[in-house]
Structure 1
Amino acid sequence: MRRYERKKDMTASDQKYLKAVYVLSRKSGSARAADVAAELSVTRPSASNGLKKLAEKGYVEREPYGGVRLTAEGLRKAEELIKSYAALRGRIISRPKRLAYLLGGDDF
């Protein structure tokens, strides 16, 4: 059985922030800390702290006035995460009876 594991250097929070920056950048070409905060329903200081951690790991570059952009490594990692999420989601959705059984529910 293949396991889906996150990389050791990426926490679940890091993944959440990286995905938000990726999505916002695709929509409008850039992302600001305030936009990330709104996207994730967190406070601006929380978003700023999360983005700071991503910058320290080399996934984003911070710009003046709260802007952030993905580095080449950040873009690669974000696309990798999105593909992994899609594969996992596909497995779960394609097997509802098995999932219901595992969760102790009745067949659909």
Structure 2
Amino acid sequence: MTPKKEDYLKIIFELGGRKKKVSNKQISMSLNVAAGSVTEMVRKLVKEGLVHHEPYGGISLTANGVQIAEELIRRHRLWETFLVTKLNYSLQDVHEDAEVLEHATSGNLMDHLDEFLGHPQRCPHGGVIPDKNGDYEEDSHDILMDVPDGSTVEVDRFIDNHDLLTYLAGVKLKLGERIKVLAHKPFEGPIEIEVEETGEKMGIGYKAAHYIFVK
């Protein structure tokens, strides 16, 4: 399987494609690729029995697609955890090297890395890490964009996207923070929020708010 196909399976998993339908637009925005490229790749993945696709209804992973995605996610996120916690990588710069390492790692090495790290359940950007048996707690798939004005939620995880993580490092929004949604600005404007602990107010971009998951 090519790395590009693996990237698609991973992002469909991240967006909730294990249990719900994911749109072409979501995949396109998350991977920074053209909509036509997504359509072409999804067609290939359908042929290989890795995803289901209903025209105008969205994309989800098959049982085989889920199994492959879980293994890829486990490898990738364990390496991300190692690079951030042990080698002091910045979160936004860890993805590419984790991508290389995940493809050059045996199952035996992954088990030892998992043990060395203390069997982490979450990676540095909040995503679940399946254990060696494929067990894990289900991710939240509620996005900041859909939170009604006046509601308070907790920041749960971020999509593993370099541009998004660089942006979030700039605005200093952190995992675990409780935030109140003040207003959705019109015409795809920012989402105005207030951090509960500090009272700091900030605007989160329209696109970014689609890839910040809350609970």
TM, length-normalised to structure 1: 0.70
Q: How far apart are 1:74 and its partner, in Å? A: 0.6
- Confirm or deny that 1:87 pairs with 2:114: no
Q: Distance in 2 between matches of 1:20 and 1:38?
A: 11
Contact persistence 2:9–2:69 (CA under 8 A): yes
1:71 aligns with 2:62: yes
Supply the AA of the counterpart residue of 1:52. R
Larger RCO: 1 or 2 (CA < 8 Å, sep 6+): 1
Which of 14, 30, 38 is 1:23 aligned to? 14
CA distance in 1, matches of 2:29, 2:81: 27
Hey, what's the Cα distance between the residues in 2 that align with 1:96 and 1:23?
25
Q: Structure 1, unaligned stretches of length 5 or more?
A: 1-9, 98-108
Counterparts of 2:85 and 2:75 in 1: how far apart (Å)? 15
* Structure ID, larger Rg: 2
Identity %: 31
Residue in structure 2 matched with residue 41 of structure 1 by the alignment: 32
Instruction: Give the Cα–Cα distance (whole angstroms) in 2 for the partners of residues 15 and 69 of structure 1.
Output: 14
Query: Pairwise mapping of residues 48-67 of structure 1 onto structure 2 (< 5 A)?
Result: 48-65=39-56, 67=58
Contact 2:21 2:57 in 1 (8 A): no
Residues 60 and 68 in structure 1, CA contact (< 8 A), matched pair in contact too? yes
Query: CA 1:93/1:57 → structure 2, altered by over 3 Å: closer, same or farther?
Result: same
Conserved 8 A contact 1:34-1:66: no
How many residues get paired? 88
2:12 and 2:61 in contact (8 A); partners too = yes
Q: How far off is 1:93 after superposition?
A: 3.5
- Return the letter of the residue paired with 2:68: K
Instruction: State the partner residue of 1:5.
Output: none
Specify which structure has the higher proportion of helix.
1
CA RMSD of aligned residues (A): 2.2
Deviations, residues 30-72 of structure 1 (Å, cap 9, x unaligned): 2011211111111100111111121121110111216111100
Find the aligned partners of 2:40 and 2:71 in 1 and give their Cα distance: 23
Tell me, what secondary structure is at the counterpart of 1:42?
coil
